[in-house]
Amino acid sequence: MRFLFLLAFFMLASVAPATAQQVRIELGQSRLPINQYFTISARLQDQELKDISAFPDIEGFKKSTKFSSTKTIIVGGKTTVILTVTQNYAAFEEGEFELKPFAMKVNGQVVQSKGTTIQVLPMATNPQSPDPTIAEAEAEEEIEAEQEFVDMEDNAFLTLYTSKKEVFVGEGVGVVLYFYLANEDQRLLDFYDFANQLTSILKQLKQPNVWEETFEIGEITPEQVSISDKPFLRFKLYEAVLYPLNKEPLVFPPLSLRMIKYKVAKNPGLLAEDRLEGYKTFRARERSIVVKELPPHPLRDVVPVGAYSLNEEVNKSNVSVNKSIKYQFEIVGEGNLAAIMAPEPVPVPGLEFYPSDLSQNITRRDGRITGAKTFIYPAIARQPGYYSLSDAFDWVFFNPETAVYDTLRPELVVRVTGESDRDDLILSRNLGTFYNIIKNEENTLVSLHYVDEIKRYTNIVLLVLLVVSAFVFLRTKHK
């Protein structure tokens, strides 16, 4: 047992350094002539370089060229790829200099170096044995001068997808704007000024005579799809379901999207920058959708359009006279649920319905609008008997899948028991505001001739005042 524990310990100890060495920092020789470069290198094993922080500054040295190199090693059928990014430093003068401990971030991993002491010696006198680092840097400069970039063919396209080519007035049609990019061409293209371009595209997609249900797209993330057995990334830029309000056709103009298109270096891997930025515009062709008028029907201009079914429920199927019930009429299916109005119950003698409460549940998924709209009607039973709720409710709609009008009718029956009470019927009704204020008013009896008596006394007072005024006027005149 102890032997197995020690064996496992040494195996883990041998694996740990190998793992730790996937990214490391290497320093060049610490004693060198002034005409040679001191180097700091970041060494990556079996991974691509995604990001790297700046190399440190060294007092007494100036940063010179930076280059990268790739080395492939195949041993026993196993391939190891080593990528090295090297920064050259040129000394200003001879002497001893200190490279303090530092850290760099490579591909998100922090790598430490203890630093070193650098001794810069007089210029080397043997020109036949140049420093290999200098030779490599000079070669790199030549490559950099001769580097050419090529415009590679990409496999990408912009398209506007519509779920149907023709629809009835009020029928939903899904509209989605996609950008497709082949997996192997990801390094060639990137989005450019996307927010402003998308705003312009959405203005062009707006239709004047539709009810629009837009799908929320928070972040543009690609999904993996296959076209002719070839893997593609698909970016969904816009999605909505449109419901035409009249028979005017839906017309979508040609759309364009400008992308960053990179030219690729002929000698990739030798330079830190092996792409040259440019631009390319992708276009989606014009599309139109024919809108057909609904077949003749008395309710053609107001009838809802969609594929619907009815769910119904009543809280009490047996109820006593003058007791209340609640009837639920729920419309379920696919269509413009937001435009559905509450069914108006037909008056049924002995059963009084009141305005309904409403709840709505809409789901936007896979380019479809589905859900349920629920109307709950309170009612009071006034007369005993059996009441079929189909006498009070029916709901007509047009089904675009079958191209016919259909009607949803209840199947539930309510039984009302007990005896009819006419006095309770009168008292239970709302008789209006006049009767509501009776209890707050004065109940003292008032004569029906009260107003005439007031007029009589008023006339007598006026006559007395007129006589007194005339007497005063005449007396004043004779003086």
Summarize pLDDT for 300-330 with one digit per residue, the tens.
Answer: 999 999 999 999 999 999 999 999 999 999 9
The 10 Å CB-count burial string (b at 16+, else e) for 144-167 is: eeebeeeeeebebebbbebeeeeb
The reply to whether 287 and 343 lie within a common domain is: no
Evaluate whether residue 447 is within a structural domain. no
The reply to whether 174 and 270 lie within a common domain is: yes
SS3 sequence, the chain? CHHHHHHHHHHHHHHHHHHHCCEEEEECCCEEECCCCEEEEEEEECCCCCCECCCCCCCCEEEEEEEEEEEEEEECCEEEEEEEEEEEEEECCCEEEEECCEEEEECCEEEEECCEEEEEECCCCCCCCCCHHHHHHHHHHHHHHHCCEECCCCCEEEEEEECCCEEECCCCEEEEEEEEEEHHHCCCEEECCHHHHHHHHHHHHCCCCEEEEECCCCCCCCEEEEECCEEEEEEEEEEEEEEECCCCCEEECCEEEEEEEEEEECCCCCCCCCEEEEEEEEEECCEEEEEECCCCCCCCCCCCEEEEEEEEEECCCEEECCCEEEEEEEEEEEECHHHCCCCCCCCECCEEECCCEEEEEEEEECCEEEEEEEEEEEEEECCCEEEEHHHCCCEEEEECCCCEEEEECCCCEEEEECCCCHHHHHHHCCCCHHHHCHHHCCCCCCCCCHHHHHHHHHHHHHHHHHHHHHHHHHHHHHC
Contacts of 479 (CB under 8 A, 6+ apart): none
Evaluate whether residue 3 is within a structural domain. no
Q: Which two tokens stand for residue 3?
A: 């032997």
Residue 45: alpha-carbon gap to chain centroid: 40
Structural domain harbouring 394: 306-433
Confidence of residue 449 (pLDDT cuts 50, 70, 90): low
Q: What is the pLDDT of residue 145?
A: 41
The reply to whether 323 and 409 lie within a common domain is: yes
Evaluate whether residue 1 is within a structural domain. no
Q: What percent of the chain has pLDDT over 70?
A: 80
CB-CB contact of 180 with 233 (8 Å) = yes
Out of 254-268, 367-381, 394-408, least confident range: 254-268
The reply to whether 355 and 427 lie within a common domain is: yes
Please say which residue of 253, 270, 292 terminates a domain.
292
Q: Which two tokens stand for residue 209?
A: 């005579």
Please say which residue of 227, 257, 292 terminates a domain.
292
Evaluate whether residue 441 is within a structural domain. no
Q: What is the pLDDT of residue 465?
A: 83
The answer, yes or no, to whether residue 147 has pLDDT greater than 60, is no
Torsion of CA 442, 443, 444, 446, to 10 degrees: 90
The answer, yes or no, to whether residue 439 has pLDDT greater than 80, is no
Residue 34: alpha-carbon gap to chain centroid: 60
Q: Give the whole-angstrom CA distance, residue 477 versus residue 479.
A: 6
Q: What is the pLDDT of residue 442?
A: 62
Evaluate whether residue 439 is within a structural domain. no
The reply to whether 393 and 310 lie within a common domain is: yes
Give the CATH number, domain containing residue 373.
2.60.40
> Mean pLDDT highest for which of 116-130, 169-183, 264-278?
169-183
CA 435 → CA 354, 431, 440, 444, 447, distances in Å? 21, 6, 10, 17, 22
Q: How large is the average pLDDT for residues 407-418?
A: 94
Q: Chain-wide mean pLDDT for the chain?
A: 82
CB-CB contact of 312 with 329 (8 Å) = yes
Q: What is the pLDDT of residue 248?
A: 95
The answer, yes or no, to whether residue 16 has pLDDT greater than 50, is no
Q: Which two tokens stand for residue 253?
A: 């103009």
Out of 176-190, 193-207, 245-259, 273-287, least confident range: 273-287
Torsion of CA 387, 408, 170, 303, to 10 degrees: -40
The reply to whether 318 and 413 lie within a common domain is: yes
Evaluate whether residue 422 is within a structural domain. yes
Q: What is the pLDDT of residue 437?
A: 55
Out of 67-76, 114-123, 254-263, 457-466, least confident range: 67-76
Out of 16-30, 164-178, 193-207, 221-235, least confident range: 16-30
Q: What is the pLDDT of residue 126?
A: 52
Evaluate whether residue 469 is within a structural domain. no
Evaluate whether residue 474 is within a structural domain. no
Please say which residue of 292, 321, 345 terminates a domain.
292
The answer, yes or no, to whether residue 163 has pLDDT greater than 50, is yes
The reply to whether 86 and 32 lie within a common domain is: yes
The answer, yes or no, to whether residue 427 has pLDDT greater than 50, is no
Q: Give the whole-angstrom CA distance, residue 243 versus residue 170.
A: 5
The reply to whether 316 and 237 lie within a common domain is: no
Beta bridge partners of 171: none
Q: Give the residue with greater pLDDT, 110 vs 429.
A: 110
Contacts of 367 (CB under 8 A, 6+ apart): 163, 174, 176, 239, 241
The reply to whether 353 and 283 lie within a common domain is: no
Confidence of residue 429 (pLDDT cuts 50, 70, 90): low
Backbone angles phi, psi at 139, to 5 degrees: -65, -40
Backbone angles phi, psi at 335, to 5 degrees: 160, -170
The reply to whether 96 and 161 lie within a common domain is: no
Q: What is the pLDDT of residue 240?
A: 94
The reply to whether 277 and 313 lie within a common domain is: no
Residue 147: alpha-carbon gap to chain centroid: 43
Counted domains in the chain = 3
Q: Which two tokens stand for residue 297?
A: 């029907």
The reply to whether 174 and 252 lie within a common domain is: yes
